[in-house]
Chain A
């Protein structure tokens, strides 16, 4: 049996907030920096999405369909494409139509809802499936959680939602001596197959490719093939940000040429074939359970959720944000749901991260704020205004009822309301993380 190589790219852009001062609370309810969002998504479309999609299409055609990739495209970025550069959606559609591209399901807003509330989690995944169906006419069968966050509890929920395959990080502190180059299954959901990211080989492309101080620079396809062949196991999973092509690694670095030649080089070797995640799960049997008690992710050295929930600022913002869900359910207003979901984007919490020294450079690169404190203040100001609107909506709902007896309560709960289980944010996750290779860094969000 040929060994498998599985490529997956994450496509996401946050809905960035504008500078929102305290004085505006209660007066101005426009939160988002439309100009920055438009400028950035167009810039990245020009540098990355459009040229990279064209390149992948060429590669698929040139290989007669032997080259395959997978994407997860967040609802947030799809909204931005729709508004600011619809041609990107078209080019993704062309890729999907080849049949060689699998689209994965995720949370609509690239959120941390999987940690906060099972029902909210399900809602967001359904919403994402709908929008993928709407734009691309396909229904995802494989799941990828925000930033590859995974735990036994999340795995069980994902399986319950009907997914048979899920992607996550090959976190060393969970794997121990085991290799990420096999298919595993969830500990609490034995039928859910897990594909684990090979972090070293993924980061060689995503992070180190243009690093001239790296002793393996420049990276060539032959060299990379040799490394692939040196990896034991059945499958190599290369998961990375799609923005690696042209944005994180500029076109001048030769990243496009490298990628273009990678498929023919790997195929010519004869020992490899490209698969999508769903195909990989069919082809390979699970070799065992993977126990993941505490959530893991692909971010930072710790490979846990500390990039978003590591300090008290992030924990307070997170608790306040998800503390609103019950009220939102009472009001059940479409606009408020929509804005709340944008405020859920994990990027907002990521900007408040204070881990300056180890992964600081990565955090800084993706951060529009000068300090985590500014990010926190700005976010809380916005959230305060949002809360005022929400409370007002509840009050008007109630007064309406009092004034007019005939009007039935305005809030039939169509949308399932979470029982606002305050997420027990873990105080110290760092203690569990064993030392990682210093070079293995992974970003969690995009600028």
Chain B
């Protein structure tokens, strides 16, 4: 079986978790005798091609202009013009300018017909434009590689248009993969409707939708209105091969409870702070660390100062690479109080480092982890209880660490990929 897969990033150059997941998945698929043609906007040439063949979209000449693209572009350009809108402009003039911009861009596209487009492959300000161009390239690739694949697989909204275009050109079935939804990224009032629209269109056009957890599957069904029989949950796995646990000399004798991740609304940092304050009132042998950065960081620092616990609550700022490992190695308890987490890979990393983890019931990984402690994200009392137990009862932390370690090491991409293969088979026949 052969699959044409559209991704946005691939190790070693990754910004989010998507690239890591794609890497593990393609390796798992290879083990299940599935050949993968992996398309990404901007490949650097140093990607690991042992399990996949990488197609760099920046090297592909565009010769298909799909009507979808034009339709989409109308929206994109409108938004761009709107954002640098000039004040005090006559509505008539504004309309003319918007129209001119649209035409100009359409022309630019037709000029580019037969040309290559250099993608940045990042998540920059022209992201929407890149998404549209990627769709055109997707169609072209589907034509070029006609007969060399049986199914199309697109990861996250960034690549859905490309997947849809490829389906229209080739007539092959399409599977879209929901790694995160708009409802996880922001509170409902702040959802980016452009992204929401792309997600909905992608899932509607797809033959099957894969969600990374039951939680995400339910969102697809209830919020996006996708028929339940069309959505399948396949939990992620983690590839720990080649990862060594580092030894770190500890400076503090106290127990360390760590929150590691983006400090944003979705991750529930404030619940962590509230729980920490409760513990600090009772125990003097524990410190709390918030590792990471994000738009809520400054608010959190103030919150901590206001509670008067900043001598026991520390901030590290953004951590990369080895520092992340070091932070896990220094921790006694890992906590992820996410308000909504499609899957959540970091507790798995923590448990792989022998760190007992507390996760919110609103995270996808809670569905498969038995040895992580689970609380509701809003229940700071329960969270405080769990922290207190793990700190003060060695028996409890020992079992959580030992069994948790075995549990996460048993999660294999090979098994997850077998489920994905079954999804492919269901749409091909």
**Which residues of A come within 8 Å of B, CB atoms?**
21-28, 311-313, 315-317, 319-320, 371, 373, 376-377, 380-381, 383-385, 387-388
Q: Which residue on chain A has the smallest CB distance to residue B314?
A: A22
Bound complex: CA A88 to CA B249 (Å): 44
CB-based contact A27/B251 at 8 Å:
yes
Bound complex: CA A317 to CA B308 (Å): 8
Chain A residues whose CB sits within 8 angstroms of the CB of B251 once the complex forms: 23-28, 385
CB-based contact A373/B326 at 8 Å:
no
Question: What 3 A-B pairs have minimum CB-CB distances, sorted nearest first?
Answer: A26-B251, A27-B251, A316-B305
Chain A residues whose CB sits within 8 angstroms of the CB of B310 once the complex forms: 313, 316-317, 320, 376, 380
Bound complex: CA A319 to CA B311 (Å): 10
**Which residues of B come within 8 Å of A, CB atoms?**
249-253, 287, 289, 297-298, 301-302, 304-306, 308, 310-312, 314-317, 323, 326, 330
Cβ contacts A to B, 19 pairs, < 8 Å: A23-B316, A23-B323, A25-B252, A26-B251, A26-B252, A311-B302, A311-B305, A313-B301, A313-B305, A316-B310, A319-B308, A320-B308, A373-B301, A376-B301, A376-B305, A377-B317, A380-B314, A383-B311, A384-B287
Chain B residues whose CB sits within 8 angstroms of the CB of A388 once the complex forms: 252-253
B207 to chain A, nearest CB (A): 49
CB-based contact B308/A381 at 8 Å:
no
Option from B250, B311, B323 in Cβ contact (under 8 Å) with A320: B311
CB-based contact A377/B306 at 8 Å:
no
Bound complex: CA A371 to CA B305 (Å): 15
> Main SS of chain B's interface residues?
mixed
> Main SS of chain A's interface residues?
helix
A355 to chain B, nearest CB (A): 14
Option from A22, A315, A384, A385 in Cβ contact (under 8 Å) with B305: A315
Bound complex: CA A188 to CA B315 (Å): 45
Option from A21, A313, A371, A373 in Cβ contact (under 8 Å) with B316: A21
Chain B residues whose CB sits within 8 angstroms of the CB of A22 once the complex forms: 289, 314-316
Bound complex: CA A373 to CA B296 (Å): 12
Known: A313-B301, A316-B305. 18 other contacts (CB 8 A): A21-B316, A22-B315, A25-B252, A25-B314, A26-B252, A27-B249, A28-B251, A311-B302, A312-B302, A312-B306, A319-B308, A320-B308, A320-B311, A371-B298, A373-B297, A377-B314, A380-B311, A384-B311
Chain A residues whose CB sits within 8 angstroms of the CB of B315 once the complex forms: 22, 377
Q: Which residue on chain A has the smallest CB distance to residue B298?
A: A373
B216 to chain A, nearest CB (A): 34
Among B289, B297, B305, B326, the most chain A Cβ lie within 10 Å of the Cβ of B305
Q: Which residue on chain A has the smallest CB distance to residue B306?
A: A312
Chain B residues whose CB sits within 8 angstroms of the CB of A311 once the complex forms: 302, 305
Chain B residues whose CB sits within 8 angstroms of the CB of A319 once the complex forms: 308
Bound complex: CA A315 to CA B308 (Å): 9
Q: Which residue on chain A has the smallest CB distance to residue B249?
A: A27
B300 to chain A, nearest CB (A): 10
CB-based contact B302/A313 at 8 Å:
yes
CB-based contact A316/B308 at 8 Å:
yes
Bound complex: CA A27 to CA B252 (Å): 8
Q: Which residue on chain A has the smallest CB distance to residue B289?
A: A22
Bound complex: CA A380 to CA B311 (Å): 6
Chain A residues whose CB sits within 8 angstroms of the CB of B289 once the complex forms: 22
Bound complex: CA A376 to CA B287 (Å): 17
Q: Which residue on chain A has the smallest CB distance to residue B250?
A: A26
Chain A residues whose CB sits within 8 angstroms of the CB of B249 once the complex forms: 27
Asked whether A316 and B306 contact (CB < 8 A) given A22-B289, A373-B297, the answer is yes
Q: Which residue on chain B has the smallest CB distance to residue A352?
A: B305
Bound complex: CA A383 to CA B305 (Å): 14
CB-based contact B253/A23 at 8 Å:
no
B398 to chain A, nearest CB (A): 24
Chain A residues whose CB sits within 8 angstroms of the CB of B330 once the complex forms: 23
Asked whether A377 and B250 contact (CB < 8 A) given A22-B316, A320-B311, the answer is no
Among A22, A24, A319, A385, the most chain B Cβ lie within 10 Å of the Cβ of A22
Bound complex: CA A79 to CA B373 (Å): 54
Among A316, A320, A383, A387, the most chain B Cβ lie within 10 Å of the Cβ of A316
Bound complex: CA A117 to CA B314 (Å): 27
CB-based contact B252/A381 at 8 Å:
no
A162 to chain B, nearest CB (A): 36
Chain A residues whose CB sits within 8 angstroms of the CB of B253 once the complex forms: 26, 388
B294 to chain A, nearest CB (A): 13
Bound complex: CA A377 to CA B252 (Å): 17
Bound complex: CA A383 to CA B330 (Å): 20
Q: Which residue on chain A has the smallest CB distance to residue B311?
A: A320
A100 to chain B, nearest CB (A): 47
Chain A residues whose CB sits within 8 angstroms of the CB of B304 once the complex forms: 316
Bound complex: CA A316 to CA B313 (Å): 12
B299 to chain A, nearest CB (A): 10
Bound complex: CA A21 to CA B289 (Å): 12
Chain B residues whose CB sits within 8 angstroms of the CB of A317 once the complex forms: 305, 310
Bound complex: CA A426 to CA B314 (Å): 25
Q: Which residue on chain B has the smallest CB distance to residue A376?
A: B301
CB-based contact B311/A387 at 8 Å:
yes
Chain A residues whose CB sits within 8 angstroms of the CB of B312 once the complex forms: 384
Bound complex: CA A389 to CA B289 (Å): 20
Q: Which residue on chain B has the smallest CB distance to residue A388?
A: B252
CB-based contact A381/B314 at 8 Å:
yes
